[in-house]
Amino acid sequence: MTITFLMDGKEVTAQDGQTLLDVARENGIDIPTICFHEATTANALCRICVVEVEGMRTLQPSCIVQAGVNMKVQTRSEKVVRARKTILEMLASTMDLSDAPDILTMMDDYGASRERFPGAERRESDVKDDNPMYIRDYSKCLLCWRCVQVCADDAQYTYAINFEGRGFETQIGTFFEKSIPETTCVMCGQCVGVCPTGALKPKREYMLEQGKTPAEISVMNTGRKQRKAKK
Amino acid sequence: MSEIDLTKLKPAIEKYIPLGRSGLLPALHAAQNVYGWLPEPVAAEVGRYLRVPLADVHGVIEFYSMFYNKPVGKKIIRVCTDQACALRSADGLLKHLCSHHGIEPGQTTEDLSLTIEASPCLGLCEQAPVALVDDGAETNISSDFRNYELGIPRSIVHGPLKILTANCGNGTTSLKKYGEYTGLKKAKGMSRIEIIEEVKASGLIGRGGAAFPTGIKGEGAERAIGDQKYVVCNADESEPGTFKDRVLLNDDPHRVIEGMCITAYAVGATKGYLYIRGEYPYIVPALENALQEAREAGYLGKHFDIEIRVGAGAYICGEETALFESIEGKRGFPRVKPPFPTTHGLFGEPTVINNVETLCNLPLIILEGAQGYRKYGTEKSPGPKLFCVSGDVAKPGLYEVSFGATMRELLDLAGGVANEKKLKAVLLGGAAGAFATEAHLDIKLTFEDLRAAGLPLGSGVVLVYDETRDMRDALQRIGHFFAHESCGKCYPCQIGTQRQKEILERVAEGKVLEGDFVRLQDVGWTMTDASLCGLGQTAASAVLSAMKLWPELFGENAKVNS
């Protein structure tokens, strides 16, 4: 069934069950997203994709709200912009966004200041370098949940990681903070693949950033080159 | 660390093993009872027995304040430092108690005999200051902490009506004293639709805080198609200033159980859960006993039975979908809605979830009929209503009145502001509510009148501050409360409650930075507009109301319009 409704004053059509975000993208209307990913269950938790729907008390997450007949949607109203800008400023006050160019671009787009919250507590964390495949730098984690989701029912059914703490103190973690090799992790790398901020990073990339040369990294690994050299 | 004897675990958690993941919270409670805390090997064994991934077990332990994965004292004292207790020098009490034992709040003595913590509201506000000592309530604590009452707390019940509270004030009412479930008996002579129509006609509105019409919920669940339907009693009363459900559950458990039975019959549910907050452990034996009485009398067991679930220190679990997650053995993260509980509730099945006080109204509605019920209250807010009056009043307690009484009338019943002082403010509806002042005293405490005045009824909290009180202190505590209780799922609330707390701390210390007023407003509005659940959506409600009433507290000139 085809549905017709108004988005930013323009008449748009959607298929039954289509999300507002999907409809917006089809119509060239830009709605920013952070936690949303095609491969994971949408949890509507970053709230950056919220839009104003006439008749609704609160802003609605466009990643999960479905188009409805005669809906009137504003994707960039004053209320929407205030929420997006404030969320971005709060993120910048909390974590290291240096490896998240998409979010930095979003901040420019919404005129969000990185210094909006002076004296704010940040979520600092040491880099966890405990396995040969990837590093975990939770100073850069914005809790999009994607890694936990792909490790569990969205992809791998491995359940190596979950959450620690609660509220602002939440962090992704393992059973009693065990190192990755001590968990059920199978090094599939899917979590690294869906991380939007560089909190999870391939070990090799991390070492290059630390100033190691490819040759040094190769020597450190007893790889094919070494085997060949021995011949 | 001494050797951990894992052989003691299985007998303790045996009965929860068949429940699988849903047995996780009860099993962790049972394990913690045995070991005093949840050491890694114990947590791992619990996970293996219940077939829950270990990372998830750890995630659950980490979520709930009352589960410990580090050693704690044999005795745990939780001193309430929330609104009503703070007005009775709870901070001093906590400090005094800690220094007496040579530790700081949150610490454990070296010999592992004692842990002392500051706690969010313990729901004993009318007997402040209070503490939870292991499973007992310690109330009316004297400033030298030598005098207090310990055990099952008293119930202080006042007011012109004695309907919902008919059996309250004299300890737990046995089934013999409560009498037959005459409301249920009458309901069973009616059709399911007739019961739902009667409840709809009564105009009963949920008393938990969200103010949803109870009949509509029942109708939705009755119509919903599902293999198994559930009735859940939300007894996770945790809104600061609220203690009505504690009194109802402890003193008159059969009224709640009868309400659940009527609901179950009306929607076709065969299984019920009563989820009580972890801070009310002293009520659980009375509830278990009442359920047993009801089973022996044939009200429960055959077509419908009820299981008690005990929370573990998480305000968010009062949010209905977070409560479901908790029963399912998960972290208390609220779900996105829709779908709503009536079609996709507990375990994904059609579920009716109602607050304790709401359920207590049902036997009355069935017995008296909608018209009879409407003798009480107003057209749009029918029925009797319980108000939790605490703080600076002469006679704090639970007050039962008809909807329609004004705030002034209620305060007069409670003997007015204590010590002949003048009124500074009333916190209506709890931390998620709003502040009112003298100017609001003649507003009727109904859903419609309060809504028109821009005030919430919430869970029936009326917390009074006299003229000498520094509202910045109350605000700072509200900020701390929400930062502590945010689940951390959605960004506006996860970070917003933290930033709100930081700014309110500056306000309380008189160290406001330039721009803090607008900063606090932006955070508040963003949480209100964009948060995922009711917690975040109301986390700034009281703060924003205070900014309108007293802009000068936030370093803003009174002339600035807010």
Q: Is the pLDDT score of B297 beyond 90?
A: yes
Q: Does domain B471-554 have CATH number 1.20.1440.230?
A: yes
Rounded mean pLDDT, B387-411: 98
Top-level CATH class of B384-466? alpha beta
Q: Is the pLDDT score of A221 beyond 70?
A: no
% of chain B at pLDDT higher than 90: 97
Q: Is the pLDDT score of A230 beyond 70?
A: no
Q: Which two tokens stand for residue B287?
A: 């509830």
B44/A61 Cβ within 8 A: no
Q: How far is B499 from chain A (nearest CA, A)?
A: 7
For B367, the 3-state DSSP assignment is: helix
Q: Is the pLDDT score of A71 beyond 50?
A: yes
Q: How far is B396 from chain A (nearest CA, A)?
A: 33
Give the angle subtended at the CA of B444 by the CAs of B158 and B316, to the nearest 5°: 75
Q: Which of B58, B336, B487 sits opposite A167 (nearest CB)?
A: B487
Q: Which of A83, A116, A143 sits opposite B488 (nearest CB)?
A: A143
Q: Which residue of B has its CA nearest to A143?
A: B489
> How would DSSP label each residue in B16-53?
GGGGGGGGHHHHHHHHHHHHSS--HHHHHHHHHHHT--
Which one of A176, A177, A179, A197 would you mutate to disrupt binding with B, by most B Cβ within 10 Å of its Cβ?
A: A176
A169/B529 Cβ within 8 A: no
Q: How far is A118 from chain B (nearest CA, A)?
A: 9
β-strands B157-158, B397-402: how paired?
parallel
pLDDT of residue B3: 80
A116/B62 Cβ within 8 A: no
Which one of A52, A143, A163, A169 would you mutate to disrupt binding with B, by most B Cβ within 10 Å of its Cβ?
A: A163
- CA-to-CA dists, residue B246 to A178, B175, B251, angstroms: 40, 18, 8
Q: Which residue of A has its CA nearest to B59?
A: A163
End-to-end CA distance of chain B: 57
pLDDT of residue A214: 86
B55/A161 Cβ within 8 A: yes
CA distance A125 to A85: 25
Tens of pLDDT, residue by residue over B173-191, are 999 999 999 999 999 999 9
How long, in residues, is chain A? 231
Rounded mean pLDDT, B499-526: 97
pLDDT of residue B559: 40
Q: Which residue of A has its CA nearest to B491?
A: A46
pLDDT of residue A215: 82
Q: What is the residue-averaged pLDDT of chain B?
A: 96
Which one of A21, A46, A47, A159 would you mutate to disrupt binding with B, by most B Cβ within 10 Å of its Cβ?
A: A47
Its ipTM equals 0.95
How long, in residues, is chain B? 562
Q: Is the pLDDT score of B480 beyond 60?
A: yes
Q: Which residue of B has its CA nearest to A178?
A: B55
pLDDT of residue B562: 39
pLDDT band with cut points at 50, 70 and 90 for residue B558: very low
Which one of B38, B321, B491, B499 would you mutate to disrupt binding with A, by most A Cβ within 10 Å of its Cβ?
A: B491
Do residues B432 and B485 make contact, with C-beta atoms less than 8 angstroms apart?
no
Q: Considering only CB atoms, which chain A residues are within 8 Å of B54?
A: 159, 175, 183-184
pLDDT of residue B528: 98
pLDDT of residue A217: 82
Q: Which of A79, A86, A162 sits opposite B58 (nearest CB)?
A: A162
pTM for the full predicted model: 0.96
Tens of pLDDT, residue by residue over A142-151, are 999 999 999 9
pLDDT band with cut points at 50, 70 and 90 for residue A1: confident
Q: Which of A58, A59, A90 sits opposite B499 (nearest CB)?
A: A90
Prior bond of A214 cis (ω within 30°): no
Q: Which residue of B has its CA nearest to A175?
A: B55
Q: How far is B439 from chain A (nearest CA, A)?
A: 27
Q: How far is A212 from chain B (nearest CA, A)?
A: 33
Q: Is the pLDDT score of B443 beyond 60?
A: yes
Q: Which of A45, A86, A184 sits opposite B523 (nearest CB)?
A: A86
Q: Percentage helix, strand, coil, to 5, in chain A?
A: 35, 15, 50
Q: How far is B27 from chain A (nearest CA, A)?
A: 17
Which one of A65, A86, A159 would you mutate to disrupt binding with B, by most B Cβ within 10 Å of its Cβ?
A: A86
Rounded mean pLDDT, A202-231: 78
pLDDT band with cut points at 50, 70 and 90 for residue B143: confident
Q: Considering only CB atoms, which chain A residues are within 8 Å of B44?
A: 175
- Identity of residue A86: T
Q: Number of helices (H) and strands (E), helices first, in chain A?
A: 8, 9
Top-level CATH class of B75-151? alpha beta
Tens of pLDDT, residue by residue over A195-204, are 999 999 999 9
| CATH number, domain B158-373 | 3.40.50.11540
Q: Where in chain B is the domain with CATH 3.40.50.11540?
A: 158-373
Q: Which domains does chain A have, with CATH numbers?
A: 1-122 (3.10.20.740), 134-230 (3.30.70.20)
A167/B488 Cβ within 8 A: yes
pLDDT of residue A78: 97
pLDDT band with cut points at 50, 70 and 90 for residue B2: low
Size of interface A-B (CB pairs under 8 A): 152
Q: Where in chain B is the domain with CATH 3.10.20.600?
A: 384-466
- CA-to-CA dists, residue B323 to A66, A90, B143, B206, B530, angstroms: 26, 28, 37, 17, 21
Q: Where in chain B is the domain with CATH 1.20.1440.230?
A: 471-554
Rounded mean pLDDT, B82-105: 97
Residues 6+ apart with CB under 8 A from B179: none
B54/A175 Cβ within 8 A: yes
Tens of pLDDT, residue by residue over A80-138, are 999 999 999 999 999 999 999 999 999 999 999 999 999 999 999 999 999 999 999 99
Q: Considering only CB atoms, which chain B residues are within 8 Å of A117?
A: 499, 502, 519
pLDDT band with cut points at 50, 70 and 90 for residue B144: confident
Q: Considering only CB atoms, which chain A residues are within 8 Å of B513?
A: 118-119
Q: Which residue has better confidence, B210 or B65?
A: B65
CA distance B344 to B346: 7
CA distance A211 to B561: 55
Q: Where in chain B is the domain with CATH 3.40.30.10?
A: 75-151
β-strands B384-391, B461-466: how paired?
parallel
Q: Which residue has better confidence, B483 or A228?
A: B483
Rounded mean pLDDT, B456-476: 97
Tens of pLDDT, residue by residue over B327-353, are 999 999 999 999 999 999 999 999 999
